């Protein structure tokens, strides 16, 4: 269950589970969930003859745009600490927050790519120095301890600071967990289900409004609606005509 380091005030209309509630209101969190599965991309031992490895026993890694394999493994472990899965549902790892961040660093958040390269390297260097393993191979409580040290500027090597990088990671993890799935995160709408957001609707009846968060989720991206698709297409056309390369 995640801990809220800076704020224990209870807010209305937030998930009943403390880890989810504190995530949405706190400026600093570090999870303390049970140890999960091995990092993405590891080879699963094959139940076959020692001289043969079945292709079915190998986890296929999703193609990355800018992150290296070790950066992705480290970042996934961090995201899993910040928004862990628990008895109330899946978290950032299941939402593919790392996939969202990777795509964002290749596009509209490209200015943060250097900070990620330096910061993730500093976290792994510190983990190896203090625990003799890279961050993503440590137990969850050890990972949380290192993240707390990063947040409180007790780990060197960050640009511009450990606390600044922690806040950047936290914000991007939240974005990747709760964004529109069109942008690469919130896989299976797990983030929207977590906060009981029923999804994009072009219109709502009085009955829909009265149901509020109890409204049945439609599990649709904004870009599943032609109105939004046409709007995005028009915006891209305006951007191209203006000679700008910015995009969301």
- Give residue 203's pLDDT: 64
- Which residue range(s) make up the domain with 165? 3-39+61-197
Q: For the beta carbon of residue 30, count every other beta carbon within 10 angstroms.
A: 22
Residues of the chain with confidence (pLDDT) below 70: 1-62, 201-213, 226-248
Q: Measure the CA–CA gap between 190 and 13, rounded to whole angstroms.
A: 18
| 208: in domain | no
Q: For the beta carbon of residue 234, count every other beta carbon within 10 angstroms.
A: 10
Cis amide linkage into residue 160, ω under 30° from 0 = yes
- Give residue 47's pLDDT: 36
| 234: in domain | no
Q: For the beta carbon of residue 11, count every other beta carbon within 10 angstroms.
A: 10
| 31: in domain | yes
| 89: in domain | yes
| 45: in domain | no
| 218: in domain | no
| Total number of domains in the chain | 1
- Give residue 161's pLDDT: 96
- Give residue 219's pLDDT: 83
- Give residue 75's pLDDT: 98
- Give residue 123's pLDDT: 98
């Amino acid at each position: 269950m995640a801990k809220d380091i800076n704020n224990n005030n209870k807010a209305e209309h937030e998930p009943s589970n403390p880890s989810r509630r504190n995530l949405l209101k706190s400026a600093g969190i570090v999870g303390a969930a049970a140890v999960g599965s091995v990092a993405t991309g590891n080879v699963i031992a094959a139940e076959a003859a020692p001289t043969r490895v079945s292709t079915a026993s190998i986890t296929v890694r999703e193609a990355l745009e800018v992150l290296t394999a070790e950066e992705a493994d480290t970042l996934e472990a961090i995201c899993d600490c910040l928004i862990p899965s628990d008895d109330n549902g899946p978290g950032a790892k299941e939402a593919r927050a790392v996939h969202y961040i990777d795509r964002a660093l290749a596009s509209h958040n490209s200015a943060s790519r250097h900070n990620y390269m330096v910061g993730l390297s500093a976290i792994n260097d510190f983990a190896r120095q203090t625990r003799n393993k890279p961050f993503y191979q440590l137990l969850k409580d050890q990972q949380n301890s290192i993240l707390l040290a990063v947040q409180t500027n007790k780990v060197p090597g960050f640009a511009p600071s450990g606390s600044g990088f922690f806040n950047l990671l936290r914000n991007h993890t939240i974005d990747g967990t709760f964004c529109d799935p069109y942008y690469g995160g919130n896989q299976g709408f797990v983030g929207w289900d977590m906060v009981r957001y029923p999804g994009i609707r072009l219109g709502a009846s009085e009955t829909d409004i009265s149901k509020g968060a109890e409204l049945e989720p439609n599990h649709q991206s904004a870009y599943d609606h032609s109105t939004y698709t046409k709007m995005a297409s028009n915006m891209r056309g305006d951007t191209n005509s203006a000679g700008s390369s910015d995009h969301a």
